Amino acid sequence: MSMDNFSIIKIEGLNYSINEKEILKDINLEIKKGLFYSIVGPNGSGKTTLLRNISRTIEPPKNTINIETKDILDFKYKDFAKILSYVPQNTSIDLDFTSLDVVLMGRHPYLKRFESEKQWDLAVAEKSMKMTNTWHLKDKSIKTLSGGERQRVVIARALAQESRIMLLDEPISQLDIHNQIEIMDTIRLLNKKYGITVISVLHDLNIAAQYSDYLIFLHEGQIVSLGEPDSVLTEETIKKVYNLDVLMIKNPINGKPHLIPKSPRYSGL
């Protein structure tokens, strides 16, 4: 990894509570430009809440999250959308838009009020759809697409924003294994080829280890471990965070760490 990667996001002392219940506790984190980060941890550990704070979907406390040294609350909406895009967990779209219409929604930050998309916006949308292998779906209703196709269209919409940072909340949780790998390959390509900084919430630790430059382990609202997969994906960390015994091996294909759960209940079967 290049030493030229500077901190594009800096979080200092982020706390967040809902109804007096602490969800995030003293989060301190630096995200380096152009790298792929996965936020992992058990259900209820604060992963989505952290992502929603960074995306301003929920408003973080003042002076806790900076992007390129500027407080995220100081950005105007359209200026912020040009820097950061967000793909939420729920990508269902109820209205009967074509896939191209959905992707063109990503051009909204660049349009004036009541202004229609220009040829350049259409060109950006086409490029985004070709990058995500969805251009052939441009005239199809978003409601008729499979889960994997719809997910790629929503990622294309985020790409059409031409942002430097992409946040994804469980982008593969509803997909079969073929579509999971296809989506992760697409995201990793965007990260490596185009330098987009990626922060993704993932549940599958083996997939997170395969695709990520860094893993961020959250547990009970706190960062308990952060580093490259080889250094932080350990039997001790998994036991601490998930209360689960595992066997760690090296993936024979790519050499990445790979965990195999130990089930005491069925170990003899």
| pLDDT tens string 53-81 | 999 999 999 999 999 889 999 999 999 99
Number of domains in the chain: 1
Phi, psi of 127 (to 5 degrees): -60, -45
- Residue 127 CA to residue 38 CA, distance in Å, equals 26
Distances (CA, A) of 47 to 54, 170, 202, 245, 250: 11, 10, 9, 22, 26
Q: Which residues of the chain have pLDDT under 70?
A: 1-5, 264-269
Q: What's the predicted TM-score (pTM) here?
A: 0.91
- pLDDT of 105 reads 94
Q: What is the pLDDT of residue 125?
A: 96
Q: Where are the beta strands (DSSP E) in the chain?
A: 7-18, 21-32, 36-40, 65-67, 70-71, 84-87, 165-169, 197-201, 214-219, 222-227, 246-250, 257-261
pLDDT of amino acid 5: 66
In a domain, 126, yes or no: yes
Cβ within 8 Å of residue 85, ≥6 positions away? 106, 158, 159, 161, 163, 165, 166, 167
Please indicate, yes or no, if residue 116 is contained in any of the structural domains.
Answer: yes
pLDDT of residue 1: 42
Whether 217 is covered by a domain: the verdict is: yes
Is 172 a member of any domain? yes
Q: What's the pLDDT score for residue 2?
A: 45
Mean pLDDT taken over the chain: 91
For residue 96, the model assigns a pLDDT of 84
Q: What is the CATH number of the domain that holds 193?
A: 3.40.50.300
**Do the beta carbons of residue 5 and residue 197 sit within 8 Å?**
no
Where b means 16+ CB within 10 Å and e means fewer, 238-266 reads beebbeeebeeeeeeeeebbbbeeeeeee
Does residue 268 fall inside a structural domain? no
Characterize 56-89 residue by residue with b for buried, 16 or more Cβ atoms within 10 angstroms of its Cβ, and e for exposed: beeebeeebbbbeeeebeebeeeebbebbbbbbe
Residue 191: CB partners within 8 Å, gap ≥ 6?
34, 35, 36, 197, 198
Angstrom distance (rounded) from CA 70 to CA 96 = 38
CA distances from 186 to 87, 153, 182, 190, 192 (A): 14, 12, 6, 6, 10
Give the model's pLDDT for residue 89. Answer: 82
Among the listed residues 185, 118, 122, 123, the one whose alpha carbon sits nearest the alpha carbon of residue 151: 185
Decide if 99 contacts 137 (C-beta within 8 A).
yes
> Contact, 37 vs 1, CB < 8 A?
no
Give me the DSSP letters along 156-188. HHHHHTT-SEEEEESTTTTS-HHHHHHHHHHHH
136 part of a folded domain = yes
What is the CB neighbour count within 10 angstroms for residue 146? 12
What is the residue range of 222's domain? 7-261
